[in-house]
């Protein structure tokens, strides 16, 4: 068991982002189109705790802040971070796209060719429960976060007249998966053996207690439109 001391900067409780390998392949699809073969991969990010991953803004220029919990003072602390968020206007308001959320790719074992795809996050949904390393701290989250230095932050994926702030949240003990229909397909040569891999927060914009375990990979065999998972690996 790793000491909680290693999961903090001072007394700030940090999250730990992971890329479960099964989320790369459990919903993958092979598509044959116009004589070409494409693989549609899923990609999922999980937070195994103990800190919650909270990124938000409360400024007109959409400066991003990581919101962290101080276990000694029992208060929230905001830290400026470069998470490569961009505001996207929609008919409903402004949505915050996290352009550096993840990347995924395919390595053709036979040819050595590697294809990488960047994946944006629009609104993390806490849609699955991963294996959690440590219980969440704090156990319950408020609806807004008051910080001493940068004021109050609210969370909402879409801003409008009544929701002026934007933010994204991945609770400790929760994860979100983008299904293949939301991801860019990758062209492959057809039947063969491939390594597929994914990386969450490749820019290391989110402070974590372990920055080395954000990735995973899986070996697959493709025959026609059938995918067979040979093995998976995560650090």
Domain count, the chain: 1
- Judged by average pLDDT, the poorest of 30-44, 81-95, 106-120, 187-201 is 81-95
pLDDT value for 1: 33
Residue 131 has what pLDDT? Answer: 83
The pTM of this model reads 0.89
The tokens 């730990």 sit on which residue? 16
Mean pLDDT estimate for the chain:
87
Residue 188: the pLDDT is 95
pLDDT at res. 2: 38
The predicted-structure confidence for 162-221, as pLDDT tens digits, reads as follows 555 678 889 999 999 887 777 788 999 999 999 999 999 998 989 999 999 999 999 999
Could you list the residue range(s) of the whole structural domain that residue 33 is in? 4-233
pLDDT in tens, 46-57: 999 999 999 988
The predicted-structure confidence for 122-163, as pLDDT tens digits, reads as follows 778 888 998 888 889 999 999 889 998 899 988 777 666 555
So what's the pLDDT on residue 216? 97
> What is the pLDDT at residue 9?
67
Distance separating alpha carbons of residues 47 and 99, to the nearest angstrom: 18
- 63-77 pLDDT tens trace: 889 999 999 999 999
pLDDT value of residue 163: 55
What's the pLDDT band for 5 if we cut at 50, 70, 90? very low
């Amino acid at each position: 068991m790793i000491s909680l001391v290693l999961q903090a900067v001072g007394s700030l409780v940090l999250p730990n982002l992971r890329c479960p390998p099964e989320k790369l392949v459990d919903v993958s699809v092979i598509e044959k189109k116009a004589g070409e073969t494409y693989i549609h991969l899923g990609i999922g990010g999980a937070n195994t705790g103990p800190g919650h991953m909270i990124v938000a803004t409360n400024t007109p220029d959409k400066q991003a802040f990581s919101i962290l919990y101080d276990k000694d003072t029992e208060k929230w602390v905001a830290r400026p971070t470069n998470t490569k968020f961009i505001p996207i206007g929609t008919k409903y308001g402004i949505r915050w796209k996290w352009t550096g959320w993840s990347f995924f790719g395919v390595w053709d074992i036979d040819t050595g060719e590697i294809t990488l795809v960047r994946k944006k996050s629009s609104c993390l949904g806490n849609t699955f429960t991963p294996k959690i390393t440590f219980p969440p701290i704090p156990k319950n989250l408020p609806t807004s976060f008051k910080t001493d230095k940068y004021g109050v932050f609210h969370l909402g994926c879409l801003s409008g007249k009544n929701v002026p702030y934007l933010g994204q949240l991945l609770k400790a003990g929760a994860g979100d998966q983008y299904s293949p229909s939301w991801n860019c397909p990758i062209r492959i040569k057809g039947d063969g053996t491939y390594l597929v891999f994914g990386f969450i927060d490749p820019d290391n914009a989110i402070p974590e207690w372990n920055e080395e375990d954000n990735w995973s990979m899986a070996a697959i065999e493709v025959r026609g439109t059938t995918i067979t998972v040979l093995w998976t690996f995560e650090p």
